[in-house]
Structure 1
């Protein structure tokens, strides 16, 4: 589902972007048991499951990703909020609770302020206060709203090879609009996997992997040459491309400079999903959710808020890395001082938890 990120990035080419493909897949997956007909088929196609249901696979993956670990925190909350008076069917509620730990709740959307407060309070409680505001009153359609599907994800990871705060210096980052910004640049000399990849048009770009203490998770950074229009680079980045990077990366001594950054995004996924062919579920007279309710039902909003922090955190583990910082050969210099793509990957499955663009740290 990296294609949904490409759709989002096209709508905001000069902004920082952050999408959780796994989060969007989870939302579509939890709607699947309630869908039928063309609505069901469109969701299956978007999930790349033409002939089978992804419920069990997505449910198992969800549980694996949220396992407690001292080196990484992945907090995922899924919720379905329906207009009061719509009685949801038991088998559907049981399925989404079992596979996605998803909760359901009735709200009176005609009282917009109360509905917004209830949804935001629910999200805050289930993300330990990391995300406190997901929806605004202008995102809802008042008394016309029938169903709101919410996915919220918070990620915080500790580097396997941490950056030392004393090595962070101010440096110049040239944004996507060519504006120069003075930003804190973290720095480290370490053994990291890196390599050079190419687009079909021959554009070369650098890929570097930064592992977290939790070995199942890594950040991958793709850095095209400074001055490259990301619109010429993004269409190339799909699941197959990301999978191909593993064969290009080699462990070597790297002197890495990376901006400290945090990125937070709240997105209405309706536009990107429409562009991917998921249309019927948003149309009142076409949506087929007969397995959710006996009354006609359609999706009003699919909202996602994602948050990520990238900093020097993890320096308490620095003693373990001290002996591997020296190399007989000159280290490769990698300075991330222009727009770049990053993603967080669950290595055993290849699942992309987050994918984003930094145009300005």
Structure 2
């Protein structure tokens, strides 16, 4: 049986800094960042002059799950795009270590990531073990994907439960397409402290313009204002900052720009490690 549709969804909350590296276990965190920047550029190219943000860790966890599930050219395309193989020495352990590090003292990291397979698809026994090793326990579940709206409600409840209620709307209406056999989802919430605490008294109501406003709408929003000496740069420089954001992503377009093609071709996709 071939899996004819893969839906990729990521809910994000973190952007990391730039760098380079080789696929050694001690450098997997850097490779995750490198891949995140490449995916960022691919996403930005298609969206033009707009805000674009996502989590390298979240996007990587989705593709790690797909590495476990795929074979052949599609698997090789995923390895080239991410810069490493999940079967490389120490890679799974390093990814788990990265997750622990992101949730260190003074930070909060809540993660929901998993593979949802349609009922009736027979799974290979080794797949369950390999997926648990890569993403951790409770990373695989059966789901009635034929009922798109019902599956959407289940996924949103799953994300809400796994992130302590912080992520409430992972899957938008209509996102689970009819005929889907496999869905990979990732939801992250990251909360950290400012390196320089912001004084609450410096927050003031300021004019706020929405698309289409003429400038005299009278709307205001509480805005922070502070004068600091800060670093900034263009993507590719060594720079970075942290903030909180909630948004949904369909990664198919950016991934195709990075050469991941066979995964989305019903005639070439090879999910034989899964079923």
Decide whether the 8 Å contact of 2:151 with 2:176 is kept in 1.
Answer: no
Q: 1 or 2, which has the higher strand percentage?
A: 1
TM-score where L is the length of structure 2 = 0.73
Decide whether the 8 Å contact of 2:67 with 2:86 is kept in 1.
Answer: no
TM-score where L is the length of structure 1 = 0.57
Matched with 2:187 is: 152
Give the Cα separation in 2 of the matches to 1:137 and 1:175. 24
Give the Cα separation in 1 of the matches to 2:149 and 2:199. 45
Give the Cα separation in 2 of the matches to 1:30 and 1:57. 15
Matched with 1:141 is: 177
Q: What are the residue-to-residue correspondences of 1:256-295 with 2, within 5 Å?
A: 263-293=245-275
Tell me the C-alpha RMSD between the 2 structures: 3.0
Change (3 A) 1:66 1:92: farther
Deviation at 1:189, TM superposition (A): 6.1
Deviation at 1:122, TM superposition (A): 0.7
Q: 2:101 aligns with which of 64, 85, 104?
A: 64
Decide whether the 8 Å contact of 1:66 with 1:76 is kept in 2.
Answer: no
1:42 pairs with 2:72: no
Deviation at 1:188, TM superposition (A): 4.4
Give the Cα separation in 2 of the matches to 1:182 and 1:15. 22
Deviation at 1:39, TM superposition (A): 1.2
Give the Cα separation in 1 of the matches to 2:269 and 2:257. 17
Residue aligned with 1:62, SS = helix
- Structure 1: which 5+ runs fail to align? 196-206, 208-221, 223-235, 247-260, 294-361
Q: 1 or 2, which has the higher helix percentage?
A: 2
Q: 1:164 aligns with which of 194, 199, 203?
A: 199
Matched with 1:313 is: none
- Structure 2: which 5+ runs fail to align? 1-34
Q: What are the residue-to-residue correspondences of 1:201-220 with 2, within 5 Å?
A: 207=232
Q: 1:124 aligns with which of 153, 160, 171?
A: 160
Give the Cα separation in 1 of the matches to 2:59 and 2:244. 21
Deviation at 1:63, TM superposition (A): 3.2
Per-residue CA distance 1:125-176 (angstroms, 9 max, x = gap): 001111111113411221x101000011111112232111111234578999
Matched with 1:103 is: 139
Residue aligned with 1:98, SS = helix
Residue aligned with 1:19, SS = coil
Decide whether the 8 Å contact of 2:117 with 2:182 is kept in 1.
Answer: yes
Residue aligned with 1:290, SS = coil
1:89 pairs with 2:124: yes
Matched with 1:78 is: 113
Q: 1:186 aligns with which of 224, 227, 230?
A: 224
Decide whether the 8 Å contact of 1:72 with 1:155 is kept in 2.
Answer: yes
Residue aligned with 1:264, SS = coil
Decide whether the 8 Å contact of 1:73 with 1:156 is kept in 2.
Answer: yes
1:114 pairs with 2:112: no
Change (3 A) 1:140 1:174: closer
Give the Cα separation in 2 of the matches to 1:139 and 1:120. 12
Residue aligned with 2:96, SS = helix
